[in-house]
């Protein structure tokens, strides 16, 4: 059973939101993701989707995108991205979409590996950070700990963390998120949010302090899920 990750699907089957306005490489991105997913992922595999799932504003509109994802091979584990305005109730989504897990302040299990997740936010000293971001930055630290603590209460010895935002600013400086990550038995971190080559280059990648960081934005992966295990 393999473990894969891909963020920023930005599906929009019920809304008119062509992603090609963000660059020619996004032309037909939904179809490319679906085709690559079907080729790479088996029905016994698990796919992590760290946010920005659908352009829909309401849950009933996001249903078209979620149904497409539900029909793809593998078990799916999601966290919320900054554009997932339709995400209101994780428990209701799980009742509606069988075989899909929507993490919110809790965790899941892949074999012996605990999967935790939180959206995260822009970090201080990022070129886009403003005073208005500070409150969300602090709130997301609380939510991150809630998810991680839920795994620790269950006896987690190894954790894979999903975030939507990168856990550092665009200078890759230390942050409260990195400090929290180092407190727990986290071995890998997957995140998305960053689009385009300059942003991709600003994201933390590879091993740092014994933890491996993966940027899994769809366009960075050329719209193909990345195998982690």
What's the pLDDT score for residue 222? Answer: 97
Instruction: Kindly state the average pLDDT of the residues 102-122.
Output: 98
Q: Could you tell me which residues come within 8 angstroms of residue 31 by beta carbon, excluding any fewer than 6 positions away?
A: none
What's the pLDDT score for residue 128? Answer: 95
pLDDT > 90 in the chain, percent: 92
What's the pLDDT score for residue 24? Answer: 84
For domain 3-227, which CATH number applies: 3.30.565.10, 3.40.640.10, 3.60.21.10, 3.40.50.300?
A: 3.60.21.10
Say how many C-beta atoms besides its own lie within 10 A of residue 26's C-beta. 18
Say how many C-beta atoms besides its own lie within 10 A of residue 83's C-beta. 18
pLDDT digits (tens, 9 = 90+) for 26-55: 989 999 999 999 999 999 999 999 999 999
pLDDT digits (tens, 9 = 90+) for 147-187: 999 999 999 999 999 999 999 999 999 999 999 999 999 99
CA pair distance 185, 114, nearest whole angstrom = 10
Q: Per-residue pLDDT for 20 more than 80?
A: no
What's the pLDDT score for residue 199? Answer: 93
198: confidence class by pLDDT, cuts 50, 70, 90:
very high
Q: Per-residue pLDDT for 22 more than 90?
A: no
Closest by CA position to 30, among listed 45, 19, 14, 38: 19
CA pair distance 139, 120, nearest whole angstrom = 9
Evaluated on CA atoms 177, 204, 105, 14, the torsion sign reads: positive
Q: What are the strands, taking DSSP E only, across 90-158?
A: 100-102, 107-110, 113-118
What's the pLDDT score for residue 15? Answer: 84
Q: Could you tell me which residues come within 8 angstroms of residue 138 by beta carbon, excluding any fewer than 6 positions away?
A: 176
Q: Per-residue pLDDT for 21 more than 70?
A: no
Q: Per-residue pLDDT for 65 more than 90?
A: yes
Q: Per-residue pLDDT for 209 more than 80?
A: yes
Instruction: Kindly state the average pLDDT of the residues 71-87.
Output: 97
Instruction: Sketch the domain layout of the chain as residue ranges.
Output: 3-227
Residues in the chain: 229
């Amino acid at each position: 059973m393999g473990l894969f990750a891909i963020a920023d699907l930005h599906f929009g089957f019920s809304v008119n939101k062509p992603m090609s306005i963000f660059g020619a490489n996004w032309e037909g991105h939904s179809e490319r993701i679906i085709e690559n997913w079907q080729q790479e992922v088996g029905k016994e595999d698990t796919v992590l989707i760290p946010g920005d799932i659908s352009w829909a504003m309401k849950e009933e509109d996001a249903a078209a995108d979620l149904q497409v994802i539900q029909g793809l091979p593998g078990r799916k584990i999601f966290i919320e991205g900054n554009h997932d305005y339709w995400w209101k109730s994780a428990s209701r989504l799980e009742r509606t979409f069988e075989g899909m897990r929507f993490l919110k302040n809790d965790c899941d299990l892949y074999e012996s590996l605990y999967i935790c997740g939180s959206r995260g936010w822009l970090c201080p000293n990022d070129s886009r950070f403003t005073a208005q971001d500070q409150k969300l930055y602090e709130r997301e630290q609380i939510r991150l700990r809630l998810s991680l603590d839920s795994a620790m209460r269950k006896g987690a010895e190894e954790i894979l963390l999903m975030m939507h935002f990168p856990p550092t600013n665009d200078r890759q400086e230390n942050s409260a998120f990195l400090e929290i990550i180092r407190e727990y038995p986290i071995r890998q971190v997957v995140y998305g949010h960053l689009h385009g080559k300059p942003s991709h280059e600003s994201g933390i990648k590879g091993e740092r302090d014994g933890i491996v960081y993966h940027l899994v934005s769809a366009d960075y992966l050329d719209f193909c899920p990345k195998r982690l295990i």
